[in-house]
Amino acid sequence: QVQLVESGGGLVQAGGSLRLSCAASRSIFSISAMAWYRQASGKQRELVAAITIGGTTSYADSVKGRFTISRDNAKNTVYLQMNSLKPEDTAVYYCNAKPPAWASPTSYWGQGTQVTVSS
């Protein structure tokens, strides 16, 4: 049974920090690359950061140097530490798990959490 449960998010002033958490079902987390996406109002959903099972990370240019993705395999949890937040970071943030093709025909999504950055 696949389940992704997100926590965190909220309202923060520009320059502030937030940490998002996403706890996934062990059976999926253990074999999945994990990622955070975001979707601002009126815009297309975009990849923010991703991390492989082995811990290799990648970031969108817009957040590089400010955001850090990490995973705790013992806790089946992926994190997104967001520092130096800007108003343009305002969006709904979604956790995503991508199992290998043999395990699932699709990826799995969390419910999303709102991040609002005020100027």
- For 33-57, write each residue's pLDDT tens digit: 999 999 999 999 999 999 999 999 9
Predicted confidence (pLDDT) per residue in 20-39, tens digit: 999 999 999 999 999 999 99
Predicted confidence (pLDDT) per residue in 66-98, tens digit: 999 999 999 999 999 999 999 999 999 999 999
CB 91 within 8 A of CB 40: yes
Q: How confident is the model at residue 31, as a pLDDT?
A: 95
* 80-109 residues labelled b (16+ CB within 10 A) or e (exposed): bebeebeeebbbbbbbbbbbeeeeeeeebe
CB atoms within 10 A of CB 1: 5
